[in-house]
């Protein structure tokens, strides 16, 4: 794959992760409050899961943006991207677009950098 295209995909993925991760802390993207009794409401009420999820998006986002430890960042994102897609499939399919985009970008970047991951498998 063209290195310029790879760089664009990496930066796009990092920006998506940074924006959505930081939004969990600062709330600059307006979102409806979840209804009581929903899964998302329960996640928020725990008090620690949403910050943990946010940090789990921000750290790989930063690593991808600065192009350091990209292999670690991409592996780190596998369970996160799978859970994002499964959450949207189960609870909110209308907003699955960004979730699918994160998974596709993550999978594509892993495929392009497969030589870094061969030893894991």
- Looking at residue 69, the DSSP 8-state letter turns out to be S
Instruction: Count CB atoms within 10 A of the CB of residue 22.
Output: 16
d(CA 59, CA 53): 10
Task: Report pLDDT for 1.
Answer: 67
Closest CA to 6 of 74, 76, 52: 74
Question: Percent of the chain beyond pLDDT 70?
Answer: 99
Task: Report pLDDT for 81.
Answer: 95
Task: Write the Ramachandran bin of 29: left for phi over 0, alpha for psi from -120 to 50, otherwise beta.
Answer: beta
């Amino acid at each position: 794959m063209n290195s310029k295209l790879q760089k664009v995909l990496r930066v796009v993925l990092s920006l998506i992760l940074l924006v959505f991760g930081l939004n969990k802390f600062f709330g600059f993207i307006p979102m409806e409050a979840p209804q009581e009794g929903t899964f998302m409401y329960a996640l928020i009420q725990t008090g620690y899961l949403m910050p943990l999820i946010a940090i789990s998006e921000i750290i790989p986002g930063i690593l991808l943006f600065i192009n350091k430890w990209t292999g670690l960042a991409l592996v780190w994102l596998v369970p996160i991207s799978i859970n994002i897609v499964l959450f949207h499939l189960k609870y909110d399919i209308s907003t699955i677009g960004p979730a699918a985009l994160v998974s596709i970008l993550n999978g594509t970047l892993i495929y392009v950098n497969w030589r870094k991951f061969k030893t894991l498998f």
